[in-house]
């Protein structure tokens, strides 16, 4: 009887495990792929030094079930900290962070962010978020910059799985000096 009881427990455990890994998660219906895609848009024309640069991040659910996203707190309500941002100059160097970003990074190592807000995204639906990149990175040096964002998949079968956006290029130009009249 003890062997039969142990066998039943093993079978039950195996069935529960199989049910858990086959239930909807943060993977695509094909399995193993990302649950969502990220598309990044920015200005199509050159931007003058000192101008605010607004990027649009579009997150699209590519699964066959609803996905829930937590809205991370940011410096303002429209500034999510849900993304890792890569901003590189023409030579591949990371653009310097602004004092605001340095402070947020320091603060995030001291305490975990908590958020009570979020949204559900139905299959094939998209959600847009604005990201004022110049609040986080110093782009005061004229030149070309490449920008890409990524966001972690949660829950994820593999900790640290991230989804990357496309990479965009923006051009920063010199400000025109004011002419005397």
CATH of the domain at 136: 2.60.40.2970
Is 32 contained in some domain?
Answer: yes
Is 158 contained in some domain?
Answer: yes
Mean per-residue pLDDT, 39-56: 95
65 cis-preceded (ω within 30 degrees of 0): no
Is 2 contained in some domain?
Answer: no
Residue 74 sits in which domain range? 25-173
Domain count, the chain: 1
Chain segment 100-131, per-residue pLDDT in tens: 888 777 765 544 544 556 788 999 999 998 88
Is 107 contained in some domain?
Answer: yes
Is 10 contained in some domain?
Answer: no
Buried b (16+ CB within 10 A) or exposed e, 69-103: beebbbeeeebbbbbebbbbbeeeeebebbeebee
Is 14 contained in some domain?
Answer: no
Is 34 contained in some domain?
Answer: yes
Report which of 134, 169, 176, 166 is spatially closest to residue 60, judged by C-alpha positions: 166
The structure's pTM equals: 0.72
Is 114 contained in some domain?
Answer: yes
Instruction: State the residue for tokens 């579009």.
Output: 58
Q: What is the mean pLDDT of the chain?
A: 76
The answer to whether 117 and 71 are in contact (CB under 8 A) is yes
């Amino acid at each position: 009887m003890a062997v039969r009881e142990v066998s039943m427990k093993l079978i039950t455990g195996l069935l529960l495990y199989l049910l858990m890994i086959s239930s909807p998660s943060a993977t695509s219906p094909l399995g193993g792929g990302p649950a969502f895609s990220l598309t990044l848009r920015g200005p199509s024309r050159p931007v003058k030094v000192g101008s605010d640069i607004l990027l649009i991040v579009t997150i699209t659910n590519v699964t066959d079930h609803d996905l829930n996203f937590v809205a991370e707190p940011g410096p303002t309500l429209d500034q999510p900290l849900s993304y890792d941002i890569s901003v590189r100059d023409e030579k591949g160097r990371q653009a310097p962070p602004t004092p605001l970003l340095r402070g947020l990074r320091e603060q995030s190592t001291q305490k975990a962010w908590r958020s009570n807000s979020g949204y559900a995204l139905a299959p094939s639906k998209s959600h847009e978020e604005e990201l004022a990149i110049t609040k986080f990175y110093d782009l005061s040096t004229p030149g070309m910059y490449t920008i890409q964002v990524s966001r972690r998949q949660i829950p994820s079968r593999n900790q640290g799985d991230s989804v990357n956006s496309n990479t965009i290029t923006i051009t920063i130009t010199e400000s025109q000096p004011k002419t005397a009249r």
